[in-house]
Amino acid sequence: MSLKKEIKFFFIKYALTFPAYYILNLYAKTVRPGFENEAAVRDHLEKGGRVILASWHQRFFGGFYLPRILGRPICIMISQSRDGDFIADIVERIGWIPARGSGSRGGKKALRALVDEIAKTRIAGHIVDGPTGPPHVIKPGIISLAQNSGAAICPTYVLYENAWKFNSWDRFMIPKPFSKVVIRFGPLEPVPEAMDAEAFEGVRRQIERKMLDEYEKGDRSLDRRAKRG
């Protein structure tokens, strides 16, 4: 890598991390958060259960502060890229525990690290269609993670009353200041430890279909509420 790029990444990592974290904190105070079905997740954890919170890449911005909301550290897989270095530094300050890797780079190592962390924290977050898509298609990694960790999958819906939508591969969304953000925890989905390929794919498709349907219903519901004022 060229010296110019090394200097650029050094500046991003060490000069921008705290300002970005500070700006995020200020920005978070401008939105109006609401939570639904949170008690079921807390109850499962308090009884010694394990949970993987599953959401789309498009909506992960609204879930940044889940460790503080739930009052406990949450582990998550973050890319081994240089951009991932910057993101990992920020989310660690919020309460996330980064396991570095992705489906295409360091994935098996990161999966093992996540399994180990879930054994301690009993909760993980997982971006099921990231980091490069295709959008709204669940990759098999979360099913493998649930099998290996003994955790139930909890589809976690992040709904925005009013948001900017970017021209990225997943049409990434950020809530506008002073808009309502709802985090809705879906029913826990247990995953059998042993499955053949057909059953594995059936579980993956079932959770994917539920997430697509529930996101569509949730977005419509919040949109109707916004129009009623």
List the CATH number of the domain containing 52: 3.40.1130
Answer whether residue 65 shows pLDDT above 80.
Answer: yes
The stretch 63-74 carries a mean pLDDT of 91
Position 17 scores a pLDDT of: 77
d(CA 150, CA 63): 23
This model's pTM is above 0.85? yes
The end-to-end CA distance of the chain, in Å, is 53
C-beta separation of 198 from 204 below 8 A: no
Q: What is the mean pLDDT of the chain?
A: 88
| Minimum mean pLDDT range among 78-87, 89-98, 106-115, 169-178 | 78-87
As a whole-number percent, the residues of the chain with pLDDT over 90 amount to 63
Domain count, the chain: 1
The stretch 152-161 carries a mean pLDDT of 96
Under the banding of pLDDT at 50, 70 and 90, the label for residue 10 is low
Under the banding of pLDDT at 50, 70 and 90, the label for residue 214 is very high
3-state secondary structure of 72: coil
C-beta separation of 184 from 154 below 8 A: no
Name the residue range of residue 196's domain. Answer: 3-24+32-228
3-state secondary structure of 150: coil
What Cα–Cα distance (Å) separates residue 182 from each residue in 47, 134, 135, 157, 193? Answer: 26, 24, 21, 8, 32
C-beta separation of 44 from 152 below 8 A: yes
Answer whether residue 1 shows pLDDT above 60.
Answer: no
d(CA 35, CA 169): 28
